[in-house]
Amino acid sequence: MTTFREPRAAAPALPADRGHLSSAVLGRLRGEHGPPPPAPAVASADPYGDDLQLALYTLYELHYQGFEGVDDDQEWDPGLLNLRQALEGSFLAALRAGVPGTVSASDALGRILVEPVEDEGDGVGHYLRDEAAADQVREYAALRSLYHLKEADPHAWVIPRLHGPAKAAMVAVEFDEFGAGRAEHIHARLYAELMLDLGLDTAYGRYLDAAPAEALATVNLMSLFGLHRALRGALIGHFAAVEITSSPGSRRLAQAMRRIGAGPAAARFYEEHVEADAVHEQVVKRQVIAPLLAAEPRLEADVAFGIEATGLLDERLGEALLRSWRGSRSALRLPLAPDGG
């Protein structure tokens, strides 16, 4: 039996750069105090591209685990914070331009509550359940580890920004995500055990260099919303979108794990989410969003924006994955090792 090792016991190594912006960030973290990228370089960069998304991801990671050899004080370096603000501005503008801009949170929720017939659909979950090769399932798990090894952490930032019933309900959901007081039930640990079943390296940040921009963007969205009090409504919208779509999606992924013979821990992670997130969906809608908007009705458009931005980036990632897999190509920037990496 493989001995479990905490994935976040050690900070990851810095990733390789993907362009001028990420090179500037990484150089600063290595102690190379060159000038920051000029404003036109940020403005002209693709807001969804590899360079900007990696630069932003790296800066956000300073608020989570940090990096090997990087001083913890870099988290609050004024030059890096100024650059992060510029990168965030570009990303946020692209998101706002790319969503329908629904004002009503109930309308935005209503669109994601419509689940197609279980056997129908052409999304990533259906593909993984019905036809993906084992290597493609492993690629998906490697990409999703960028979030799941810190599952629920970005959403925890909203707790001190809530009050009353919304706060109590949000804490109750997060309590489940963090294992309800039992370390072996923390969802991030369950995901690491899934990775072991699939022969993947569970080290935190191990697959950052392999992840395309579309995968980085889905994680950056949570950090963007979580780190800004002004975007607390959007973070609640994101959380609602995740919880509402999780149960049917997790059922398909559990079926995918069983189909390829991945092992009990791989299926268990998703089976846990089928039941838990069906309950969380109701709690988030009725006990988090409803009292939040009753107390702060001006946040309704932000909640809707969070829901729609989540859908936009999930769709972009799904399209990128399926385009690669259906074209008989890896969806990763770097190949996975046959086993254990």
Q: Cβ–Cβ contacts within 10 Å for residue 299, how many? A: 22
Cα(177)–Cα(185) distance, integer angstroms? 8
Structure tokens at 94: 């692209």
At 341, the pLDDT band (50, 70, 90 cuts) reads low
Mean pLDDT of 314-325: 98
Distances in Å between the Cα of 245 and the Cα atoms of 94, 110, 314 are 24, 12, 11
Q: What is the CATH number of domain 102-326?
A: 1.20.910.10
Which amino acid would we find at residue 26? L
> What is the tens place of the pLDDT at every residue in 163-216?
999 999 999 999 999 999 999 999 999 999 999 999 999 999 999 999 999 999
Mean pLDDT of 142-159: 97
> What is the tens place of the pLDDT at every residue in 71-104?
999 999 999 999 999 999 999 999 999 999 999 9
**To the nearest whole number, what is the mean pLDDT of the chain?**
93
Cα(297)–Cα(300) distance, integer angstroms? 6
- Using DSSP's 3-state secondary structure scheme, residue 122 falls into coil
Cα(170)–Cα(162) distance, integer angstroms? 9
- Nearest to 224, CA basis, from 24, 35, 85: 85
Distances in Å between the Cα of 77 and the Cα atoms of 19, 59, 87, 220 are 21, 10, 15, 19
What is the structure's pLDDT at 117? 45
CB half-sphere exposure, 126, CA atoms < 13 A: 12
Range from 14-23, 150-159, 242-251, 252-261 carrying the lowest mean pLDDT: 242-251
With a CB cutoff of 8 Å and minimum separation 6, the contacts of 124 are: 140, 317, 318, 321, 322
- Nearest to 69, CA basis, from 7, 8, 14: 14
- Domain boundary assignment for the chain: 10-97, 102-326
Q: Which residue has the higher pLDDT, 33 or 93?
A: 93
Distances in Å between the Cα of 6 and the Cα atoms of 3, 150, 204, 267, 340 are 10, 12, 9, 20, 16
Cα(1)–Cα(171) distance, integer angstroms? 34
- Residue whose token pair is 């838990």: 276
- Residue environment code for 197-217, b if the CB has 16+ CB neighbours within 10 A, otherwise e: bbbbbbbbbbbbebbbbbbbb
At 1, the pLDDT band (50, 70, 90 cuts) reads very low
Cα(213)–Cα(18) distance, integer angstroms? 10
- Residue whose token pair is 């009705």: 297
- Using DSSP's 3-state secondary structure scheme, residue 262 falls into coil
For residue 123, is pLDDT > 90?
A: yes
Cα(29)–Cα(77) distance, integer angstroms? 10
Structure tokens at 53: 């998304």
What pTM was estimated for this model as a whole? Answer: 0.95
Residue positions counted in the chain: 341
- Residue whose token pair is 């260099």: 209
What is the structure's pLDDT at 2? 55
